[in-house]
Amino acid sequence: MATSWGAAFFMLVASCVCSTVFHRDQQTWFEGIFLSSMCPVNVSASILYGIMFDAGSTGTRIHVYTFVQKIPGQLPVLEGEIFDSVKPGLSAFVDQPKQGAETVQGLLEVAKDSIPRSHWKKTPVVLKATAGLRLLPEQKAQALLFEVQEIFKKSPFLVPNDSVSIMDGSYEGVLAWITVNFLTGQLHGHSQETVGTLDLGGASTQITFLPQLQKTLEQTPRDYLTSFEMFNSTYKLYTHSYLGFGLKAARLATLGALATEGIDAHTFRSACLPRYLEAEWIFGGVKYQYGGNQEGEVGFEPCYAEVLRVVQGKLHQPDEIHRSSFYAFSYYYDRAVDTDMIDYEKGGVLKVEDFERKAREVCDNLENYTSGSPFLCMDLSYITALLKDGFGFADNTILKKTWRMWTPTNTRQTKVSCHK
């Protein structure tokens, strides 16, 4: 989930350059993720570089950031970014860890071409894996990370001891929240009028916001709350990552593939797919055979019943989201663009019910609707169910696309302002 990595490195460099940014007498949000050894060797330099690998469930992405410190002692400014990616993700190499690490080696060449040789030794390189590796057995996930660490050690870049690890889902939510609220100016002053974030990845989904009501804090499970200090302010966030509720993991759950043994000899069928479709799909290194209901019902109503079983009663629904504003990232935006609900560059205004309307249009015309993905009906229906029946957003919740973070990457985002 690439939306948060720019913030991660920005906060890292900020802590190196300006020691007054964070209270160092207590643990901050990035303890255990970013170490002091990752700071550039010459923090007084006017130009700083950072290399961040986002190892997601569907691919591995590299972000090469350039920061400029225009005034000594003040926070550096993100000047630019180089982005590249490879597919599939590391989790697809669950039984070939060395082969998986080779995909990272290829992306390191992008960093070498993007950063002056004179800066290589003082440029930190980090890989944080997300839900794709969290879903793997620990021993196999660690084997993948070990091989990546070996690749990093052979590189000319600065490699801290904890440069390769699996990121906890709650950190993903926190990083995305910091990114949005810092870039929109919400964190520059003492005001805590912030916006929430919704991130829909391939294997997991996150929701994060800053509660304003004591009732929310009292009624929220303790492990959904996290506190940290930043810019001399304390923030107590509501944040939770739902592993297995990302868009692609939800496809498997909808198909019933997660509860079936002997998948090699089984074809998973759904009312969300074209009736005569017969295809195969690889996710997490596993091949699945799937197709439409050749004799049963197809269309929106039976499809929605399938995806509803995936989310109904499974997610916590904080009442306060009805009076909050949210930004939604990743597949929320992608599917809206894919179906021409919003323009990729200009954006547009949507409501949650618009996802349902488009889902009905696609699902009830499966044989006539052409798309690059046969899962489009299922994806739109799942997003609708996730927002409405999962998190509890109202039909008339407004979604407005605003801007894309960290141009020129393919990171995209949508603003969600909640109004009854």
Tell me the binding residues: 202-206
Hey, is 133 helix, strand or coil?
helix
Question: Which residues are part of a known binding site for ATP?
Answer: 202-206
Q: Where are the alpha helices (DSSP H) in 285-390?
A: 300-311, 331-338, 352-363, 376-385
Closest alpha carbon to 91 in 82, 101, 81: 101
Helix count and strand count (H, E) for the chain: 11, 16
What residues act catalytically?
Answer: 172
- Residue 367 · residue 274 · CB < 8 Å: yes
Residue closest to 239 by CA, chosen among 257, 272, 216: 216
Q: How far is the C-alpha of 51 from the C-alpha of 157, rounded, in Å?
A: 9
Beta bridge partners of 409: none
DSSP 3-state assignment of 81? strand
Helices 300-311 & 352-363, crossing angle to 10 degrees? 130
Give just the sign of the alpha carbon dihedral 339, 251, 357, 402: negative
Rounded CA gap, 272 and 290, in Å?
Answer: 11
Phi, psi at 241, each rounded to 5°: -110, 125
Q: How many residues does the chain have?
A: 420
